[in-house]
Amino acid sequence: MADIRPSGYSKHRKKQTYTRRLGTRATPMQVLMSERIGGMGALIVIIAALPLLLANNYQYDVAITIGINAIVVVGLNLLIGYAGQISLGHAGFFALGAYASAILTARYGLHGALAMPLGALGVGLLAYIIARPILRLSGHYLAMATLGVGVIINIVISREAWLTGGPDGMYVPPLEVWGVELYGGPIWYWIVAAFLVLAVWISLNIIDSPVGRALRGLHGAEVAAEVAGVDTTRYKVMVFVISAVMASVAGSLAAHFSEFVTPEKASFFHSILFVTMVVFGGMASTFGAVVGAAVLTLLPQLLADFASYEHMILGLIMMAVMIFMPRGLVPTLTGLARRRGARR
Amino acid sequence: MSLLRVENLSIQFGGVQAIQELDFEISEGTIHSIIGPNGAGKTTLFNLITGLYRPSAGAIYLDDAQIAGKRPHDLARMGLSRTFQNLRIMMNMTAIENVMVGRHLHLNRNLLACMLRLPMITRADKAARKRCIELMDLVGLGGAIDADASALPYGALKRLEIARALASEPRLLLLDEPAAGLNARETKEIDDVIATVARAGVTVVLVEHDMKLVMGISDHILVLDHGRKLAEGTPDAVRNNPAVVAAYLGQV
Ligand SMILES: Nc1ncnc2c1ncn2[C@@H]1O[C@H](COP(=O)(O)OP(=O)(O)OP(=O)(O)O)[C@@H](O)[C@H]1O
Ligand SMILES: [Mg+2]
- Give the CATH number, domain containing residue A183: 1.10.3470
B53, B3 in Cβ contact below 8 A?
no
Dihedral sign for Cα A76, A80, A83, A87, please: positive
Distance of CA B100 to the CA centre of its chain: 17
Read off the amino acid at residue A236. Answer: K
Contacts of B52 in chain A (CB under 8 A): 223, 227
- Residue A245 domain boundaries: 36-294
**Domain presence at residue A4:** no
Query: Which of B12, B16, B35, B48 for a ligand 1 pocket mutation test, highest count of atoms within 8 Å of Cβ?
Result: B16
**Domain presence at residue A311:** no
The CATH 3.40.50.300 domain(s) of chain B lie at 1-79+172-252
**Domain presence at residue A322:** no
Tally of domains in chain A: 1
Q: Which of residues 194-213 of B touch A (CB under 8 A)?
A: 196-197, 200-202
Centre a 10 Å sphere on the Cβ of residue A86 and count the other Cβ atoms it contains: 22
What is the pLDDT confidence band of residue A19, given thresholds at 50, 70 and 90?
Answer: very low
pLDDT tens per residue, range B129-139 = 999 999 999 99
A87, A276 in Cβ contact below 8 A?
no
B33 contact partners, CB below 8 Å, separation of at least 6 = B205, B206, B207, B208, B214, B217, B218, B220, B221, B222
Centre a 10 Å sphere on the Cβ of residue B17 and count the other Cβ atoms it contains: 15
Beta strands A180-182 and A175-177 are antiparallel
**Domain presence at residue A313:** no
**Domain presence at residue A29:** no
pLDDT tens per residue, range B146-176 = 999 999 999 999 999 999 999 999 999 999 9
Phi first, then psi: what are they for B229, rounded to 5°?
A: -75, 125
Q: Is the pLDDT of residue A185 over 70?
A: yes
What is the pLDDT confidence band of residue A20, given thresholds at 50, 70 and 90?
Answer: very low
Whether the pTM exceeds 0.90: the reply is yes
**Domain presence at residue A123:** yes
**Domain presence at residue A331:** no
Q: What is the mean pLDDT of chain A?
A: 87
Centre a 10 Å sphere on the Cβ of residue A7 and count the other Cβ atoms it contains: 10
The CATH classification of domain B1-79+172-252, taken from the options 1.10.10.10, 3.90.120.10, 3.40.50.1100, 3.40.50.300? 3.40.50.300
ipTM of predicted complex:
0.93
CA–CA separation, A284 and B125 (whole Å): 21
A285 contact partners, CB below 8 Å, separation of at least 6 = A77, A81, A328, A330, A331, A334
Residue nearest to atom 29 of ligand 1 (CA): B39
